[in-house]
Structures are given as structure tokens and as C-alpha cells.
Chains A and B, each alone.
Chain A
Amino acid sequence: MAAVGRLAGGARLSRPRWRTGLLLALPAIVIFAALFVAPLFTLVANSFRTQTGAFTLGNYARFLGDPFYRDVLWNTLKVAALTTAGCLLVGYPFALYMRARSPRVRNRLALLLLSPLLISMVIRAYGWLVVLGPNGPVASAFQALGLTPPQLLYNDTAVLIGMVHVMLAYMVLPLMGSLDRIDPTLVPAAKGLGASGWTCFWRITLPLSAPGMLAGAMIVFSLTASSFVTPAILGGPKVKLMPYFVYTQATTTLDWPYAAAIGFVLVVVTTGLLLGYSRLLRRGNGEVVFG
């Protein structure tokens, strides 16, 4: 009892604990502040300058006033959204399957899921070039069936296939976490009350896995919207996405302020959408995933 009293009287204990906590978090905070927050401020400041350094809103006016760039933004969000939807459609059944397996099998499946991330992005993308190319196995299969192979390279479909492949793990792992937190007696309880397996899924499992779905969707969406290598290789010059234009403005045109403005528009739009998601979730389920 005395020990509990001392613990409960907490002021003396909690302060050193608080300090230890800060100390533990410090390396991460320093890295985050120095390598993300500070450059972001520089980026924002740069985006409001002309090439010679004077203040201007011209970079944003140029972006928003040009239908071509608005189209690029729209296409970027579309590809990110479709990739997210693809990951969800492929990943949800996979997560359900994983959950029903033994821990040993689960670990192997998780490794399988993470395996695309172990290979260099460039090599993986070139692999897809071979698979989806005119002499690849997909085209051969179509030809063997007497069908004209569809154009699978250098378009949104190619980017979508490549991105879903990479991003799947980012969807499945949070989803697994969410599914694991569901009390395993809920489905039997629902069945006992007259719900079929399908109804149990729609009314119990799916709504309760919403936090995982939304967390996965946020990660996949924001990573896809800002990805460069895979869309550049698989999409080619015809698929125009925001990160590609940031790259060309910065390295080819050497218009850094404009590159900064394009980059910042992407950050703002993506962050806005994520906050929207988060709010949606908080209202729907009373739980907070991010922020």
C-alpha cells in the first residue's frame, strides 16, 4: 500500500520519467526537424520567390492558371486513388486470409508481402517492363489465346500495376493490426443472433477494421502521390505526374522556385485529403488514427 501511495503521489516520479521520454525521442525529433521541417520551410519560402529572389505569387499563379498543370495534379491524385483502391481490393482478402493462419504461416506471408521492398525500385520496375512488355509473358499469353495483347506499358495501367505491387504491404500491415484488435467472439456472437457469414463481414468485421483501412489508405495514397521512380519507368513520358515535373523543373529547367511551388502544392493537397480522411474516421468511429 505504501509503495502504491508513493507512486500515486507521482510528482517526484513523473518528472524524471518525462525527461527520460524526451531524451529517448530526441534523436528522432532532431532528425525530423533538421531534415524535414526546416527544408519544408525553405521550400515554402523559395516557392514565393522569383529566380532572382524577389517575392512573388507568380509560381502559384502559373501552376493554377495552366490547364496542363491542373491536369497533371488531377492525374496524380487519380493514380494515387486508384492505387489505394487496388491495394485495398487485393490486400483486404489477403489480410483476412493471414489473420486466420497460425503465427508461423503469418510471419512467412508477411515476409512475402515485404519482399518487393527488399529489391531496388529501379530493378523491380525494369522487371515489370519485361513482364508487361510486347515480348513478355502477359503478351504471349494473350497471343496464345488468339487475342491482341492490350497496351500494358507506358500508361496509367502500367503505373497502377507497379505501384500496387510495391504498396501492398503498406495496406495489409495496418489492416492486420486493425483486424487483430477485433474481439474474436464478435463474429460468433453475431452469428448466434442470426447473421450469416456475409452479414457478419459487412456489419461487424468491415466497420471495425475501418481504422486499419484508413491508415493503410493514407500511407499508400501519400506515398503513391509522391513516388517518382516507378511511374517514370513504367509510365514513360506519356504519364505525367507531379513528382516528375518537380524533378524536371529542378534539374532540367533549373527553375527551383517553380519546382518548389509544384512540390508544395502536392504537399498541401495530399495533407488536406489526409486530414479530411482522418476527420471522416473520427466522426464515424470515435477513434483517432492519425492526428
Chain B
Amino acid sequence: MTTMTDAPASTEVRRGRLRLSGVRKVLGGKEVVSAVDLETEPGEFLTLLGPSGCGKTTTLNMIAGHLAADGGLIEVDGRDITTVPPHRRSMGMVFQSYALFPHLTIADNVAFGLRMRKVGAAERRRRVADMLELVGLDGMAGRHPRQLSGGQQQRAALARALVIQPDLLLLDEPFSNLDAQLRVRLRDEVAALQRRIGTTAILVTHDQEEALAVSDRIAVMAGGVIHQLDRPQEIYLRPATDFVAQFIGEVNALDGTALGGGACEIAGRTVAATPAGEPPAKGAAVRVYVRPEVVRVGHDGDGLRGTVRETRFLGSRIRCVVATPAGEVTAALPYDAAVPQEGEEVTCTWRPSDASLAARA
């Protein structure tokens, strides 16, 4: 994961640094986006992840210019574009519905943005052909959108967005209309293509697996604010808020009392985790978030003691539920782990760096 982030194989000049500062949007009397701040690195793949109504699509539409921000600043490469109309921004947007022009051929769809930019016919043809080849649609140039499959249509939409060499590639739930297998294939293709071309990409999705798989960083949104903006493994292992912990994957949320630093006392035992933000003061009510994958079940070490209630073989993992005084702890053990017996007394442990600790509201 880290290597992919650190070594994008692009030779192009890196641009496309997006910065949002205090961006707000009120729709129908309700503040749907409240003071959103974020900044991308050029060439970064950043995902806005959250449930429907969290403000992620509104934020994307403000970046694209389809919605006017009610406050704050939107900048690209230091240029303030907050009030620039969409057709004067340089954004390549891919929509959930593909939004291909049904009366134009695939080639004309892809050429549309170049035509608007008054690119000459010869260069236009060359760039369209190159782009169609890049997305694997060579030979489809003369077809109309309705003659293409969903996956092909989304590739065409991607080609249309990328051919204008935009500052940013904006992806609005682009894979939601595709069936599961195709969704995974296309999202990996898009991620690979984005890294090759080096265009900064902003993806909006409610699919956490998709976000984890393709993003350099993820901004988890809820209620119009960003709860956490971090690398996927950080988001997954060390969620900053209860919402992030619950929204992504499965989590053990254990309540305890802070002992200072990353240490805390849960049901009479001392455990450790990584504080999200400032370490809570000693004696404060805290909650520890531990993913099932990082829990080890054994007989040694400092951890939560409990009784194995059930174990279940799930193929890729063995699911083990341990009843502890702090509540049930679920562990997802590797298939070759020593599987404890039901009713056995065990200790649940984890590496402090693999769990997070936050103040309890």
C-alpha cells in the first residue's frame, strides 16, 4: 500500500493541488457541508467516503462548480476558483449515470471537451484515438453510447474526462451502477490509470471497501464535516471518532478510563492503544477501538480476560467471540492460528499501534 502511494510512476509535471478552506453549503435551509478543510497533494487519489446525505457529493459539486459555495475558499494550484463557473474550471468529471451524450458517437463524446477548447481537428482525432486506446475502447469510436455495456460506457466517460488533461479528475460514485465483479475490476483499472497519468483524483463513494482499495487518503464524512482524513490503514486501524470506527468494517468498541498516554483501564485490566489526537487526561472516559483482525487470542500478555463463547470457520478467517467483563470481543484469526475451544479461558491482546483510543462523548 505504502509503496504505491510513495512511488507513482508518472513523469509528467505534477499539478492539481486542491485546497478547500472552510467550505460551506446550505441547501433548503440546512447546512449540508460545514466548514470543510482539505488539501490534496498533486497526483493524489483522495476519496470522500460517507453515507448518503453526509455532504460528500455536495462537496464534489462545489469543487466542480455545479454548486456555489456559501462560504470558504476553493483553490487549485494556488488559484482561487471559488466563484469561477464550471465551464471555466478544468475538471474532468465522471458521473454515476455516465452522462454520455446519447446523440453523439463515443469519439464525439470524447472529443467534446477538446472541441470546446478549440483544439484543431487533426490533434483532436489523435488525442481521442490515444485516449480510447488507453481505456481499452479502440474500435468503439463510431458507436453510440447505448450500443456499449455499462463498463464500456464508464470507460468512455473516463476517457472524455481525462482527454482534456484536467487539473482534477472528479469521480462521483462512478462504479455504483456496475455489477460487483465489474465494479472491482474497473475500480482497480481506474486507480492504475490515475497513477500512470498522475492527475489528482477525487472520488466520492459510500463503499468503504472501494475507498480502502483505491485511495492514497480517505476523508470520512458525516453530517457535513470530515471526521478523519488519513491514509486507508490509519482510517481502518486507528479510527479517530466513533462514527469512523462504526462506519468502516467491524470494530470492537471497549469503554474504559484513561490512565495517561495511550494506556487505559478496562474492566480492571490495563490495555494500551494509540490516542487519536491529544491523549485524553488521566481519569477521562475513553473508548478503545480494535479491529477483529488485530486481536490475538492466547494465554499470555496484558489484555482482556474472557471466555470463548463461539468459534466459527469462515474460510478466509476464523471468527472467535470472547465474552469479557467489558463486553464481547470479536477476533478474526488467521486460518493457521491455534483455535481456542469454546468455554476456554483466554486473554485478548493487540499491539497498541493497531488500536485507537478516543475520548468518549
Q: Which residues in A have some Cβ–Cβ distance to B below 8 Å?
A: 183, 185-186, 188-196, 199, 203-204, 207-208, 285-286
Contacts and interface: CB of A to CB of B under 8 A. Distances in A.
A206 to B, nearest CB: 10
B116 to A, nearest CB: 3
A186 B116 contact: no
Contacts of A185: 95, 97, 99
Nearest to A200: B87
A193 B160 contact: yes
Contacts of B117: 194
A185 B64 CA distance: 13
B101 A192 contact: no
A183 B99 contact: yes
B142 interface: no
A196 B97 CA distance: 21
8 contacts: A188-B64, A188-B95, A189-B95, A189-B101, A192-B89, A192-B91, A193-B160, A195-B112
B92 interface: yes
A196 B99 CA distance: 17
Nearest to B85: A191
A16 to B, nearest CB: 33
A31 to B, nearest CB: 37
A192 B216 CA distance: 25
Interface in B86-103: 86-89, 91-93, 95, 97, 99, 101-103
Contact of B164 (A186, A188, A193, A204): A193
Contact of B116 (A183, A195, A208, A286): A195
A193 B103 contact: no
Contacts of B95: 185, 188-189
Given A194-B117, A195-B112, 20 more contacts: A185-B99, A188-B64, A188-B86, A189-B93, A189-B99, A190-B112, A191-B66, A191-B85, A191-B86, A192-B66, A192-B87, A192-B93, A192-B170, A193-B92, A193-B112, A193-B116, A194-B113, A194-B164, A195-B116, A203-B112
Chain A binding surface, main DSSP class? helix
Given A185-B95, A189-B95, A194 B101 contact: no
Given A194-B113, A194-B117, A186 B87 contact: no
Contacts of B65: 191-192
B127 interface: no
Nearest to A182: B102
B183 interface: no
B266 to A, nearest CB: 49
A188 B172 CA distance: 12
B317 interface: no
A199 B101 CA distance: 14
B212 to A, nearest CB: 27
Given A195-B87, A195-B116, A196-B87, A190 B93 contact: no
Q: Sort A-B residue pairs by CB-CB distance and give the 8 closest, nearest first.
A: A194-B116, A193-B113, A189-B99, A185-B99, A191-B86, A192-B93, A191-B87, A185-B95
A195 B66 CA distance: 13
B144 interface: yes
A208 B102 contact: yes
